[in-house]
């Protein structure tokens, strides 16, 4: 270990070297003295002949070093000392950069969680591809369809590309788990029998599914439990295998527990358990789905055979799709197939996710850019202050490269500190962002700060450090040594402040773009929150129930709901209760086509309408005004006699469409297969799909399916009512549990989610940008004032008035601000159209926004200039001149 | 980092001269500098200081070794001595240098082309 010996002996080697050189010089001097030279002259001559002692020592030591690393360490040590010397400005720069980097890290951690991270615990995830059907005549995302069960079976049994093709239900199935005579809602996932084996996931306890568990003729009621479900809900019971769980009224035999961390293949969904797809009838009471050729519900994932790539698999899948198209022209017409590399976000949606996260990344990259400009301009100022130091080091023989490296090391130190602080920031903000998610979405998104995020932050830190450090570094290394040492530095600084002014213009214009974006999004959020959804969201509680999933008969379902209505109606404060098949503005939707009168459909084009099914009292409970006619009566909703003419209530938009100037009450329509529906009332139009939509014609029908949402209006606080509702459901039937029990206000966070997220994030970016820009502007103007103190002093001594000085300093700030504003407005005009899809009721080039942002920024910027300008005004000529 | 003599001499020339000088007798730094200067008849412009980085390189490669002694003039000096490896290295370098010199001389020789 020669190098180790060298490492430890080095201190001695260096000591020897100094002694030796000292001895050399002494011997030389003595010899010269002996020859008759005066000692003083001899000492100078000896040194002259020897050369640069320091450089010699340094070169000699360098022999023993790993020079680059050790010089770097020395530079870092020196850099840290320099940063400690000015803690205030260091902290300011680090904080600004940390905010910028923290927000970037946060957004990136979402990108990572959604798009980059492979599914956990899965063997060789890069060999997995998703299989999607693709409708050749449809465009965009609508063209992509998951597989039907018959499709899946065909592809599974006929492909040559995969070692195995698995499938799973894309939507989590809420299932009622009966335990100790009480129901709780849990999330299950229906999967094919080869799900675990294709993924290479082994059971933590027991076993996973076998293909035999998942046979169409003979499905087995077996279940594999999720690891955290087993830990948290079953207390890590080691003997759980062989026990059974009562799920939606069927006893499922526990055969195994999945390994910890395994959560399937979909982002944000962590199933509590997995059951074979062929058990779908027991889980969802949907018996036809396994044979239905038009129910697209299975996401299929295949593991590529060795030597097969995605392109070859795609070609083969398309060939198989062609065969299917020939065999089943009625259902599979135009349906091709395609594959995507498997990831946690399904292939067709990745584009949307990356567009949105990309927008956020771009926004926060701009914030970071502003922080960088601040840091660069601070370093420039500091470099001017350190010109002397640099000149001395250069005079002592430090090379240009060495000086540049020193400056770059200092700037990367700053950005490294900021990067670490940014990571801490991201650690706190990512959960905060997740908290924006509506509580009713059954998703658990994990945002890990894993090695990808760390690598991202590290490279951003390094890159920003180099970016904002390079200009100051090059400048300081270029400095002329002699004039600086002779104290003639004054003249050089004005040019540097010009560079800083350019930086400021860039900063202000970036800030304008961000502020315009932020203002648009915040105003759009305000707009969206104030959109009238068409019903009263105050003092309403909701809960979704489905007794049918337990296998109850129609009579049992009816009796359950009747009792429940009575119980809830008797609660104190409750003024009315009703039911709807699904709430408006949710993800569920029923559409149909309506035709006026009773004529046959021949040659007549129907009006496309949305359909909601409601119980009597719905309009009263939801606060929807009844414009004409009457509400449903109980007899109409109970009647199971299909032959009797049904009743329907329509909304105003539908009435205007079909009978623009007549009273629709008493008229008849045909709705899909239902003929002779009599219109008995007209209600106010609301919002049904999204808050931003144009009025949609809608028909209310009185008959409800087993799955419905209870709506309750109270005179008090609906939050207080939630517990009472849960209790009453238990009292009426302990086996039934409600999903999505919440207040209407909580429910409304769902439709407002996109607007809130963008509003909040872009709002934050705008405020950050504004604050950073003000700090930057303040710094630049202060710096210019301090550099020109001498000049101002001379001017005042020569008779300039304070107003003139104010104008001088202020004028500079004004020029910088107005140029920045102009550039920024032009850029904003071009850039904001990328936001248009996210905006409610406001144009991306809204003039009021552009104008108010300009005025606001101008005001704030001038204030930032005023403070240093005032200081300049108060310069005492005597002090300023003596200062030299 | 580049020393002036490295620009004037070719790389390794100084080391070669040091090794050659030390082969005759072990010397300390100052004496080594004087001997090289004297024997070169002051034709080579060598800063005395530039010996030391070269000596450190030779020490590191274990071509020479050094010991502190008390000299005849009663000062504490560090005497450098050639190691067997150093002797071998010198031989090798000298023969390489001679070949190179021969080549250069031939090219520079007037008349023939």
Using the beta-carbon criterion (under 8 Å), do B52 and A20 form an inter-chain contact? Answer: yes
How does DSSP assign A261-328, residue by residue?
T---SSTT---SEEEEGGGHHHHH--GGGGT-SS---EEEEEEEPTT--HHHHHHHHHHHHHHHHHH-
Helices (H), B25-83: 29-39, 51-60
To probe the interface with B, which of A14, A30, A54, A60 has the most B CB atoms within 10 Å? A60
How many residues in chain A?
884
Place of tokens 């499905």: A219
Residue B112 in domain:
no
Closest residue in chain B to residue A28, using alpha carbons only? B30
Q: How many CB atoms lie within 10 A of CB A626?
A: 14
Looking at residue A125, the DSSP 8-state letter turns out to be: G
Give the closest-approach CA distance of A117 to chain B in angstroms: 47
| Distance in angstroms (rounded) separating the CA atoms of residues A757 and A436 | 7
3 state DSSP class of A444:
coil
Q: Convert B101-112 into a string of H (helix), E (strand) and C (coil).
A: HHHHHHHHCCCC
| Distance in angstroms (rounded) separating the CA atoms of residues A720 and A739 | 17
Give the closest-approach CA distance of A498 to chain B in angstroms: 36
Residue B101 in domain:
yes
Using the beta-carbon criterion (under 8 Å), do A63 and B57 form an inter-chain contact? Answer: yes
- Reported as a single tens digit per residue, the pLDDT across A77-124 is 888 887 887 777 788 788 888 988 998 999 899 889 888 888 889 999
CATH of the domain at B100: 1.10.10.10
- Report the residue from A16, A50, A63 with minimal CB separation from B78: A16
Q: Which two tokens stand for residue A570?
A: 């008797």
Largest CA distance in chain A: 136
Radius of gyration of chain A measured on its C-alpha atoms:
37
Residue B84 in domain:
yes
The pLDDT value recorded for residue A356 is: 85
Chain B residue numbers with beta carbons less than 8 Å from the beta carbon of A16 are 66, 68, 78
The pLDDT value recorded for residue A615 is: 93
Residue B20 in domain:
yes
Largest CA distance in chain B: 59
- Whether residue A763 contacts residue A835, with contact meaning beta carbons closer than 8 Å, is answered with no
| Distance in angstroms (rounded) separating the CA atoms of residues A456 and A344 | 20
> Which residues of chain A register pLDDT less than 70?
1-8, 66-68, 439-443, 479-480, 483-497, 598-605, 639-645, 880-884
In sequence order, the β-bridge partners of residue B79 are B28, B67
Using the beta-carbon criterion (under 8 Å), do B50 and A56 form an inter-chain contact? Answer: yes
Using the beta-carbon criterion (under 8 Å), do A49 and B75 form an inter-chain contact? Answer: no
- Whether residue A145 contacts residue A335, with contact meaning beta carbons closer than 8 Å, is answered with yes
Using the beta-carbon criterion (under 8 Å), do B48 and A49 form an inter-chain contact? Answer: yes
Residue B92 in domain:
yes
- Whether residue A507 contacts residue A826, with contact meaning beta carbons closer than 8 Å, is answered with no
Q: Convert A738-766 into a string of H (helix), E (strand) and C (coil).
A: CEEEEEHHHHCHHHHHHHHHHHHHHHHHH
| Distance in angstroms (rounded) separating the CA atoms of residues A725 and A573 | 12
Q: Is the ipTM of this complex over 0.90?
A: no
Sign of the alpha-carbon torsion through A144, A150, A154, A156: positive
Q: pTM of the predicted model, to two decimals? A: 0.73
The pLDDT value recorded for residue A127 is: 94
The pLDDT value recorded for residue A550 is: 83
Sign of the alpha-carbon torsion through A564, A567, A571, A577: positive
Q: Convert A78-117 into a string of H (helix), E (strand) and C (coil).
A: HHHHHHHHCHHHHHHHHHHHHHHHHHHHHHHHHHHHHHHC
| Distance in angstroms (rounded) separating the CA atoms of residues A790 and A883 | 8
Cβ-Cβ pairs closer than 8 A, A with B, add up to 68
Name the burial class of residue A644, with classes exposed (0-12), middle (13-18) and buried (19+) by CB atoms within 10 angstroms of its CB. Answer: exposed
Name the burial class of residue A38, with classes exposed (0-12), middle (13-18) and buried (19+) by CB atoms within 10 angstroms of its CB. Answer: exposed
Chain A residue numbers with beta carbons less than 8 Å from the beta carbon of B33 are 24
Radius of gyration of chain B measured on its C-alpha atoms:
16
| Distance in angstroms (rounded) separating the CA atoms of residues A761 and A128 | 34
The pLDDT value recorded for residue A794 is: 83
Closest residue in chain B to residue A25, using alpha carbons only? B30
Using the beta-carbon criterion (under 8 Å), do A64 and B56 form an inter-chain contact? Answer: yes
Using the beta-carbon criterion (under 8 Å), do B52 and A51 form an inter-chain contact? Answer: no
Give the count of domains, chain B: 1
H or E stretch covering A183: strand A182-191
pLDDT over 60 at B4, yes or no: no
- Whether residue A300 contacts residue A170, with contact meaning beta carbons closer than 8 Å, is answered with no
Q: Which of A822, A796, A823, A825 lies closest to A808, judged by CA?
A: A796
Give the closest-approach CA distance of B33 to chain A in angstroms: 10
Residue B86 in domain:
yes
| Distance in angstroms (rounded) separating the CA atoms of residues A277 and A881 | 88
In which domain, by residue range, is B95 found? 4-107
The pLDDT value recorded for residue B2 is: 40
Using the beta-carbon criterion (under 8 Å), do B1 and A62 form an inter-chain contact? Answer: yes
Helices (H), A610-650: 618-622, 634-638
Q: Which two tokens stand for residue A551?
A: 């296998």
Q: Packing angle between helix A347-385 and helix A387-395, nearest 10 degrees?
A: 80
- Report the residue from B47, B55, B77 with minimal CB separation from A23: B77
- Whether residue A130 contacts residue A342, with contact meaning beta carbons closer than 8 Å, is answered with yes
- Whether residue A175 contacts residue A187, with contact meaning beta carbons closer than 8 Å, is answered with yes
Residue B113 in domain:
no
Question: What is each CA distance from A729 to A276, A732, A738, in whole angstroms?
Answer: 30, 5, 8
Q: Which of B2, B60, B90 lies closest to A401, judged by CA?
A: B2
Using the beta-carbon criterion (under 8 Å), do B76 and A23 form an inter-chain contact? Answer: yes
- Whether residue A24 contacts residue A3, with contact meaning beta carbons closer than 8 Å, is answered with no
Looking at residue A535, the DSSP 8-state letter turns out to be: S
- Whether residue A781 contacts residue A808, with contact meaning beta carbons closer than 8 Å, is answered with no
3 state DSSP class of A716:
coil
| Distance in angstroms (rounded) separating the CA atoms of residues A692 and A467 | 43
Q: Which two tokens stand for residue A565?
A: 């209505």
Using the beta-carbon criterion (under 8 Å), do A24 and B30 form an inter-chain contact? Answer: yes
The pLDDT value recorded for residue B1 is: 40
| Distance in angstroms (rounded) separating the CA atoms of residues A718 and A716 | 6
- Whether residue A455 contacts residue A478, with contact meaning beta carbons closer than 8 Å, is answered with no
């Amino acid at each position: 270990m020669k190098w180790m010996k060298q490492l430890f002996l080095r201190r001695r080697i260096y000591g020897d070297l100094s002694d030796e050189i000292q001895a050399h010089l002494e011997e030389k001097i003595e010899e010269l003295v002996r020859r008759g030279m005066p000692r003083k002259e001899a000492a100078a001559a000896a040194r002259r002949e020897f050369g640069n002692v320091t450089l010699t020592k340094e070169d000699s030591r360098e022999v023993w070093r790993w020079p680059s690393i050790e010089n770097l360490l020395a530079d870092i040590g020196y850099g840290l000392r320099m940063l400690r010397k000015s803690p205030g400005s260091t902290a300011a720069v680090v904080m600004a950069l940390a905010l910028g980097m923290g927000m970037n890290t946060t957004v990136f951690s979402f990108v990572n969680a959604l798009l980059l991270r492979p599914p956990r615990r899965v063997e060789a995830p890069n060999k997995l591809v998703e299989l999607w059907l693709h409708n050749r005549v449809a465009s965009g995302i609508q063209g992509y369809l998951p597989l039907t069960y018959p499709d899946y079976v065909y592809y599974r049994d006929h492909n040559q590309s995969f070692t195995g093709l698995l499938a799973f239900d894309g939507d989590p199935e809420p299932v009622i788990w009966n335990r100790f005579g009480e129901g709780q809602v849990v999330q299950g996932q229906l999967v094919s029998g080869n799900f675990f084996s294709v993924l290479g996931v082994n059971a933590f306890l027991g076993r996973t599914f076998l293909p035999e568990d998942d046979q169409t003729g003979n499905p087995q009621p077996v279940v594999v439990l999720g690891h955290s479900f087993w830990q948290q809900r079953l207390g890590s019971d080691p003997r759980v295998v062989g026990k059974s769980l009562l799920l939606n009224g069927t006893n499922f035999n526990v055969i195994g527990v999945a390994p910890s961390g395994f959560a399937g293949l979909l982002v944000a969904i962590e199933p509590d358990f997995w059951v074979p797809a062929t058990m779908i009838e027991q889980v969802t009471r949907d018996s036809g789905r396994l044979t239905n050729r038009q129910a697209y519900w299975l996401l299929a994932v295949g593991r590529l055979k060795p030597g097969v790539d995605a392109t070859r698999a795609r070609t083969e899948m398309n060939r198989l799709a062609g065969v299917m198209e020939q065999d089943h022209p009625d259902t599979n017409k135009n349906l091709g197939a395609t594959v995507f590399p498997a990831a946690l976000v399904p292939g067709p949606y990745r584009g949307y996710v990356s567009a949105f996260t990309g927008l956020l990344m771009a926004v926060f990259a701009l914030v970071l850019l502003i922080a960088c400009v601040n840091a660069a301009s601070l370093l420039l100022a500091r470099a001017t202050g350190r010109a002397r130091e640099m000149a001395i080091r250069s005079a002592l023989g430090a090379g240009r490269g060495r000086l540049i490296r020193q400056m770059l090391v200092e700037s990367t130190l700053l950005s490294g500190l900021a990067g670490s602080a940014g990571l801490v920031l991201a650690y706190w903000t990512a959960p905060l962002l997740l908290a924006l998610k509506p509580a009713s979405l059954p998703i658990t998104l994990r945002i890990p700060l894993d090695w990808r995020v760390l690598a991202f932050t590290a490279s951003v830190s390094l890159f920003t450090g180099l970016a904002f450090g390079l200009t100051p570094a090059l400048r300081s290394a270029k400095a002329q040594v002699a004039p600086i040492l002779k104290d003639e530095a004054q003249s050089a600084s004005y040019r540097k402040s010009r560079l800083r002014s350019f930086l400021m213009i860039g900063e202000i214009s970036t800030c304008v773009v961000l502020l315009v974006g932020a203002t648009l999004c915040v105003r759009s959020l305000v707009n969206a929150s104030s959109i009238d959804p068409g019903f009263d969201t105050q003092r309403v509680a909701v809960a979704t129930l489905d007794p049918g999933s337990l296998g109850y008969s129609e009579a049992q379902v009816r009796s359950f709901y009747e009792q429940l209505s009575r119980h809830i109606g008797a609660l104190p404060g409750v003024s009315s209760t009703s039911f709807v098949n699904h709430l408006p503005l949710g993800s569920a939707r029923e559409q149909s086509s309506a035709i006026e009168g009773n004529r046959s459909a021949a040659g007549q084009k129907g009006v496309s309408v949305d359909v909601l099914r409601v119980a009597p009292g719905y309009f009263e409970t939801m606060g929807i005004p009844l414009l004409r006619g009457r509400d449903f009566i109980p007899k109409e909703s109970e009647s199971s006699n299909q032959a009797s003419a049904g009743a329907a209530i329509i909304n105003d938009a539908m009435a205007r469409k079909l009978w623009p100037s007549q009273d629709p009450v008493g008229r008849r329509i045909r709705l899909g297969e239902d003929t002779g529906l009599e219109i008995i009332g007209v209600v106010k139009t609301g919002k049904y799909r999204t808050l931003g939509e144009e009025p949609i014609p809608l028909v209310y029908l009185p008959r409800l399916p087993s799955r419905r949402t209870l709506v309750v209006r109270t005179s008090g606080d609906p939050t207080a009512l939630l517990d009472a509702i849960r209790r009453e459901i238990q009292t009426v039937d302990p086996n039934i549990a409600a999903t999505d029990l919440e207040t209407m206000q909580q429910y409304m966070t769902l439709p407002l989610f996109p607007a809130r997220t963008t509003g909040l994030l872009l709002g934050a970016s705008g405020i950050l940008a504004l604050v950073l820009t003000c700090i930057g502007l303040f710094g630049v103007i202060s710096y210019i004032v301090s550099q020109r103190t001498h000049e101002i002093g001379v001017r005042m001594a020569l008779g300039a008035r304070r107003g003139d000085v104010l104008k001088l300093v202020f004028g500079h700030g004004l020029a910088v601000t107005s140029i920045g504003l102009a550039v920024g407005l032009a850029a904003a005009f071009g850039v904001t159209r990328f936001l248009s899809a996210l905006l409610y009721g406001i144009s991306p080039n809204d003039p009021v926004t552009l104008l108010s942002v300009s005025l606001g920024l101008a005001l704030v910027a001038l204030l930032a200039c005023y403070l240093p300008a005032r200081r300049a005004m108060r310069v005492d000529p005597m002090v300023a001149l003596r200062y030299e | 980092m580049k020393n002036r003599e490295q620009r004037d001499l070719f790389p390794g020339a100084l080391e070669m001269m040091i090794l050659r000088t030390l082969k005759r007798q072990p010397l300390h730094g100052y004496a080594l500098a004087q001997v090289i200067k004297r024997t070169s008849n002051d034709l080579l412009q060598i800063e005395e200081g530039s010996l030391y980085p070269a000596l450190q390189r030779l020490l590191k490669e274990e071509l020479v070794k050094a010991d502190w002694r008390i000299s005849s003039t009663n000062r504490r000096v560090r005497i450098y001595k050639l190691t067997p490896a150093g002797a071998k290295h010198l031989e090798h370098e000298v023969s390489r240098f001679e070949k190179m010199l021969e080549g250069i001389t031939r090219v520079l020789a007037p008349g023939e082309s």
